[in-house]
Structure 1
Amino acid sequence: MRSTLLNLEESRIREVANAGMGRSDVLAFWFGESDEVTPDVVREAAIESLQRGETFYAHNLGLPALREAIAAYTSQLHGAVGADRIAVTSGGVNALMLAVQALVDPGDEVVVITPVWPNLTAQPLIMGARLQCVPLKPQAGGAWALDMAQLLAAITPATRLLVVNAPNNPTGWTLTEAEQREILTHCRATGTWILADEVYERLYYEPTGKGCAPSFLDVAEPEDRLVVVHSFSKSFLMTGWRVGWLVMPASMTLEMGKLIEFNTSCASVFTQRAAVAALAHADEITPRVVAHLKRCRDTLVPLLQALPGVEVAPAKGGMYAFFRLAGQGDSLAVAKRLVIEAGLGLAPGSAFGPEAQGWLRWCFASKDPQRLVLGVGRLKTWLGV
């Protein structure tokens, strides 16, 4: 087996979750998903597809109806995007891995903004890339910020790929449109590709008039060296369905179809039918999801801020409260203790990068916000305050 794979770290989130799996007394907020089931209209579309016997292979790039629907949805948010720039994937994770496979050769230099969901640093390593991390910096009050000068200095003509996740998991940090323009202009000059993980773009709580976070698609030209990754998981409550998509230059799409063939062949038809239904009802589903998540955020964060020694800021986007406990260093050890001693399941900050050591991630996507209140009560008792 390749030494690269042997040297990959196991998920520290899973390590914590494994310590509490099967315990009915644990309030679990460790994974990045809501505990609310997928809307009926989406599930019914999948059931109808199965009842029609749609159990066969589909086109590598996805059902034409879904690609057209994604193109229309994207165009509504970000301006004209044709279906010839869309590929349907078996989840957002698959979309990210496909993009890295398409763009990175062994020995290539890849820059990643961290802390970040660990898959985004692991995937370039799997491809044999040389990884350079540019860390966000925690500010007073618990928010995180990007040092733009540091990032641009890290991106040189030797940099093959820049990986950006904004809105960011775990910190909630987002990019402004002006920052995106600055990054894009610099990457054009260096010949660097941008891989933008914008899975959380609809889970955005700042007023924009668009119902989404700023996107690189807002500032880029169709043939820019830009690949944007999306998923149905978060804003449509479809984590278990494993349907995502890529937006890329049209000149790249047919080649991506070949790569999909050698990975998964295609996404399953019944999940794609469900995705078509989700997009048809996006104006009903997503605003409700976002409004509820904002309520959850605004329930949890003030309660955490009221605890002595807790530093946390309201996330501008995403579904996480990322907070620091005074005097607590090893976040993995703290997260395990919280499971065992308090029945509270959180993700350790160290899972997202060394700069997040001492921080904890709390997924606030809870159908019942009272679970969040109960969880804070357990944390307060554990802290002895």
Structure 2
Amino acid sequence: MKKCSDFVLKMDESVTLAAANRAKALKAQGHDIIDLTLGQPDFPTPQKIGAAAISSIQNGAASFYTQVGGLPELKKAVQKYWTRFYGYDIENSQILITAGAKFALYAYFMATVDPEDEVIIPAPYWVSYVDQVKMAGGKPVIVEATQAHQFKVTVDQLEKARTEKTKILLLNSPSNPTGMIYSKDELKAIGEWAVAHDLLILADDIYHRLVYNGAEFPAISSLSEEIRKRTTVINGVSKTFAMTGWRIGAAVGDPEIISAMTKIASQTTSNPTAVAQYAAIEAFEENDNSFAQMHAAFEERLNKIYLQLAEVPGFEVVKPNGAFYLFPKVTKAMALKGFTDVTAFTTAILEEAGVALVTGAGFGSAENVRLSYATSMENLEAAIKRLKDWMNQ
């Protein structure tokens, strides 16, 4: 008897988690590994946020189920945060609090996608988008954004990919894995194209505050009322507030879609963890300067490490201005070392140089690797030295 479904047997494991697990396994065996795989801040959750969680445990508030869509107090905090950083007001009916932003994405696809509906996804893309669309029965349509064009797609490219079955356009800006940010004019053109063709927009804004060197984050949902009506924004506390382990995401959009997503949550996760919701209230209220300190550290790392990585033989790097990743093109480096497959190349770097990176293949790019600079400067500089030494062997 076959125990597992055909779908799950064909599904790939998340390449970021697989790379991190491989690095951990080698470390456990005694190997000296510098891990640059996971996209999570190396800063602990700020103390005020932790204190709010502890208080909710001590006073008993965290002991019980909450509303499926999230605590009213948390939704109120999200409303205030939205006005500050997005520039428009939202209602309770437009908000869903989820067990992580990844689940918010899943709930969106399950709530909106029918079999054979097409979802346009620019590549390079975050590793879970494609499989989540497939889980909902939809068809991912990949549009390649090349390094030569700053990893950003154009309206002309999107129009060529559009068919009568196209229903959703997914945008992730700042991007994982590239760190690139669409400009206001670029987003306005894309948003107006989506309006003209009656498409939904899914905006993954999880890195919205992590922008550097004077760059700005324009939210596509803030550009016009017509664009906003068809846009669902995914956000959360993981990246901005160093809370990856707390698993709190937020979806904001059309009340009909949010209601449908809430129905999905009611039959899957129920409410997000209560104690994490109380922590998230404190996070969104932002009563200290912990984000500013973390942001300054990321900006310093980017500016230093970008220059050093560009000196590694065969690594071609475009400097990003958001998130906390570098995504160098390594075709020349692979040729120098005799590789034709980027995953095999990444594995060799791990096993021979002791540096854990993530293959670009999982992001829809067979020419790149991803490294996270959400770790100490000491680790980053040591890792790049290892890469240089290995490439020069």
TM-score normalized by structure 2? 0.91
Q: Residue 221 of structure 2 corresponds to which residue in structure 1? A: 217
2 CA distance for matches of 1:186 and 1:358? 30
Contact 1:70/1:83 (CA < 8 Å) preserved in 2?
no
Q: Residue 51 of structure 2 corresponds to which residue in structure 1? A: 44
1 CA distance for matches of 2:177 and 2:85? 24
Aligned partner letter, 1:352: F
2 CA distance for matches of 1:205 and 1:317? 6
Change (3 A) 1:308 1:124: same
Aligned partner letter, 2:221: L
The aligned runs of 1:14-163 (5 Å cut-off) are 14-22=17-25, 23=27, 25-53=32-60, 54-84=62-92, 85-139=94-148, 143-163=150-170
The aligned runs of 1:234-313 (5 Å cut-off) are 234-281=239-286, 284-313=289-318
The aligned runs of 1:200-215 (5 Å cut-off) are 200-207=207-214, 213-215=217-219
* 2:184 is the alignment partner of 1:177: yes
Give the C-alpha shift of residue 14 in structure 1: 3.3
Give the C-alpha shift of residue 257 in structure 1: 2.3
Give the C-alpha shift of residue 307 in structure 1: 2.3
Per-residue CA deviations over 1:94-137 (Å, capped at 9, x if unaligned) read 11011111110111111111111111111111111122100101
Contact 1:152/1:183 (CA < 8 Å) preserved in 2?
no
Per-residue CA deviations over 1:342-368 (Å, capped at 9, x if unaligned) read 111111111101xx21311110011x2
Give the C-alpha shift of residue 181 in structure 1: 1.5
2 CA distance for matches of 1:50 and 1:121? 38
Change (3 A) 1:324 1:282: farther
Q: Which runs of 5+ in 1 are unaligned?
A: none
TM-score normalized by structure 1? 0.93
* 2:353 is the alignment partner of 1:338: no
Secondary structure of the residue aligned to 1:164 is strand
Contact 2:309/2:384 (CA < 8 Å) preserved in 1?
yes
Contact 2:115/2:137 (CA < 8 Å) preserved in 1?
yes
* 2:350 is the alignment partner of 1:350: no
**Of 249-258 and 84-93, the range deviating more from structure 2:** 249-258
Aligned partner letter, 1:219: L
1 CA distance for matches of 2:19 and 2:115? 32
Q: Residue 5 of structure 1 corresponds to which residue in structure 2? A: 8
Secondary structure of the residue aligned to 1:21 is helix
Q: Alignment identity in percent?
A: 30
Give the C-alpha shift of residue 302 in structure 1: 0.5
Contact 1:75/1:81 (CA < 8 Å) preserved in 2?
yes
How many pairs were matched up? 377
* 2:384 is the alignment partner of 1:384: no
Q: Residue 371 of structure 1 corresponds to which residue in structure 2? A: 379
Secondary structure of the residue aligned to 2:316 is strand
**Of 283-292 and 261-270, the range deviating more from structure 2:** 283-292
Give the C-alpha shift of residue 255 in structure 1: 3.2
Aligned partner letter, 1:7: K
Give the C-alpha shift of residue 378 in structure 1: 0.9
Per-residue CA deviations over 1:259-295 (Å, capped at 9, x if unaligned) read 2211211111110110111122266232222211111
Q: Which runs of 5+ in 2 are unaligned?
A: 335-339
Aligned partner letter, 1:343: G
1 CA distance for matches of 2:258 and 2:316? 44
Contact 1:157/1:191 (CA < 8 Å) preserved in 2?
no
Give the C-alpha shift of residue 233 in structure 1: 0.6
Aligned partner letter, 1:382: W
Secondary structure of the residue aligned to 1:309 is coil
Contact 2:112/2:257 (CA < 8 Å) preserved in 1?
no
Contact 2:251/2:258 (CA < 8 Å) preserved in 1?
no
2 CA distance for matches of 1:63 and 1:15? 34
**Of 191-200 and 249-258, the range deviating more from structure 2:** 249-258
CA RMSD of aligned residues (A): 1.8
Secondary structure of the residue aligned to 2:313 is coil
Per-residue CA deviations over 1:309-344 (Å, capped at 9, x if unaligned) read 221122111110111231413221121111111111
1 CA distance for matches of 2:153 and 2:36? 27
2 CA distance for matches of 1:14 and 1:59? 31
Change (3 A) 1:12 1:82: closer
